[in-house]
Structure 1
Amino acid sequence: MEFRQLETFVAIAKFKSYSKAAESLFLTQPTLSNHIINLEKDLGTTLINRSNKQISLTPAGKILYDYAVEILHVKENVGFKLDEYRGHFVGHIEIAASTIPEQYILPSFLTGFKKQYPDVTLTLRHLASDKIIDGILTEEYNLGVVGSKTTHGHLTFHSLTEDELALVVPNNEAYQAYETEIPWSELIKKPFIFREQGSGTRKLFEAALKKNNLGFRDLKVAAYIENTEVIKKCIMDGMGVSILSKRAIQQELLNDSLKALEIPDMMLTRHFYLVHHKYRTLSPLEIRFKEYLMEHSE
């Protein structure tokens, strides 16, 4: 039984896909399959069900999985401690982040961490907040940064920074009459551009609407768009208005291409959180990155 075989086995269990596991380990699929076949021969048992399209672990595979994760963690810890002793850190960290953290918050953190640990490679994945949380629970990701918090007992959330949202409108004659806010009677007449379902920004606005006894049915929906930069361009072109983080429109506010308005009786503030699984051990490098974020966040 070799470390590479265990890494292959854990990756297949994690991704439930031979192709994704091979990609994550930078292996070809035939090499990946050979590792699993040889591991099963070494242990004298079948570890992965191959009778259907969906990959799953056999009872023996489920027994091995927890031990394999533990063995690999011990290996990683030993390597980290030796790197620490030599003053030379090497490894890889993957972070999943929702739109605003990915585009406007994490870049400076990643740059600072990279300067401190130049031989550590970083991967930043972009997903909606709910997909990140699902990925943490299913062990697809270890670390995530999200704009909404759940009460799931298997998750730990660490507050990183606060965020303020606003109604973003084009800075043109049609909106010159609104200096700082827009009344509800006028707002419901405006076409809205919304983020995709599962977005933390959209969830916050939906909750705020509900508190005011309103819902999407009371608004004119122009479009659903996932990309914040595209939404900003559509607002400038006159398609509609949207709820966006003020972090995303700093440049546009400075050059007067967009305008941020408040909505009466609607508080649109939130926190961004670092999230990880409460009962799964982070790698030493992931712990170091978590500590770095906590130390340098607001």
Structure 2
Amino acid sequence: MTAIILNHLLVFHSVARHLSYSKAGEELNLSQPAVSRQISSLEKGLGLDLFTQRGRQVVLTDAGRSLYDYADRIMGLAQQAGRALTQYHDLERGEVRLGVSPVVGCYLLPSILKEFYNRFPNIKVSLQLDCGQKLIKGIEEGELDLALAVGPLACDNIHLERYAQDDLVLVCPPGADSPMLKEILINYPLITREKLSSTRVIIEDHLAKYAIKTKSIMEIPDTAVIKKLVMTGIGVAFLPERAVETELVSGTLQTVKGAATVINRWVYLVTSKDQHYCPTLLAFMNFVRKYQ
């Protein structure tokens, strides 16, 4: 019923503006009899006369004038809504709900967002920083449109697209003697993330594959803190290569040499398999794909 009333209201608004059935028909590309039928149907549904004839002139009744005030506002809002939705297609506005893992949010995302906002200043990116499994849950429950998360990730309801390589490299304090893997782990404890961290799982699986046992494990839930602890000589750690680029160049950290000191891993673009790809989301994803 709402759709019929709105359609009738459109015809009524045109007749009321022109005070002419024929001009309304021309504007709406309808025949004059079709316009008359629409108005008659509306009047019948409302139980009120909206127009009256004074000779050949069409005149609004009191009820018609009252309805016209509302109809004029409704048609104005409809036009505004149309323009607003057109802006989404023209990428003049919109929002992307993005989830990222902490390392991606700290070392990879800022430069991407800077360039994206330069290109699309009116598109808002709302950001959630969390671990991979919580980001997947956000995708599944429709709270996030997209996630940039570090693997491994597994879920039947999500789609994974490899985005950028984000290797873990074993780093040690500057000036450490004989920085080879087995020797360094004899002299220094291995500092790593908390047990539920996907990074922790990757590191443990990697060391088990090479039958390497660590001296001890210190659990820290923050990459920046781990980096500082290694720099002060407390231990060694597998850290994202992007996170230690500056320190390796400046010499405040050094990489451990030899086999098994680099762990390959990927950052993934994560979406739901049932994702609705609106224009703003597509624009963001295509921009991210080009910016690696």
Please give the TM-score of this superposition, normalised by the length of structure 2.
Answer: 0.65
In 2: Cα distance, 1:227 partner to 1:150 partner: 20
Q: What is the DSSP-based 3-state SS (H/G/I as helix, E as strand, rest coil) of the residue aligned with 1:187?
A: helix
Contact kept, 8 Å, 2:181 with 2:256, in 1: the verdict is no
State whether residues 168 and 243 of structure 1, in contact with CA within 8 Å, keep that contact through their aligned partners in structure 2: yes
Structure 2 counterpart of 1:82, from 86, 89, 92: 86
CA RMSD between the two structures:
2.4
* Contact residue 91 and residue 280 of structure 2 kept, 8 A: no
Identity %, equivalent residues: 27
Q: Distance in 2 between matches of 1:171 and 1:80?
A: 57
Q: 1:230 & 1:127 partners in 2: Cα distance?
A: 17
- Once the two structures are superposed, residues 97-120 of structure 1 have per-residue CA deviations (whole angstroms, 9 ceiling, x without a partner) of 112211111111111111111011
Q: Distance in 1 between matches of 2:137 and 2:257?
A: 32
**How many equivalent residue pairs?**
212
Structure possessing the higher radius of gyration over alpha carbons:
2
- Separation in structure 2 between the aligned mates of residue 115 and residue 274 of structure 1, nearest angstrom: 22
Question: Does 1:274 find its partner at 2:269?
Answer: yes
Map 1:167-186 → 2, pairs under 5 A: 167-172=170-175, 175-178=176-179, 182-184=180-182, 186=184
Relative distance call for 1:148 and 1:88 in structure 2 (3 A) is closer
* 1:237 paired to 2:240: no
In the alignment, what sits opposite 2:72?
A: none
* Aligned residue in 1 for 2:128: 125
Q: Is the 8 A contact 1:208 1:266 kept in 2?
A: no
Secondary structure of the residue that 1:276 maps to in structure 2? strand
Give the equivalent residue in structure 2 for 1:202. 200
Task: Give me the whole-angstrom Cα distance separating, in 1, the residues matched to 2:183 and 2:229.
Answer: 23
Aligned partner of 2:177: which letter?
Answer: Q
Of 215, 234, 244 in structure 2, the residue corresponding to residue 220 of structure 1 is: 215
Q: Which runs of 5+ in 2 are unaligned?
A: 1-80
Deviation at 1:79, TM superposition (A): 6.8
Instruction: Give the distance between the partners of 2:216 and 2:277, measured in 1 at CA.
Output: 42
1:156 maps to which of 133, 154, 159? 159
Counterparts of 1:99-138 in structure 2, within 5 Å, are: 99-138=102-141
So what's the TM-score if we normalise by structure 1? 0.64
| Aligned counterpart, 1:96 | 99
Structure 1: state its 5+ residue gaps.
1-76
Deviation at 1:155, TM superposition (A): 0.7
Greater CA deviation, 152-161 or 87-96? 87-96
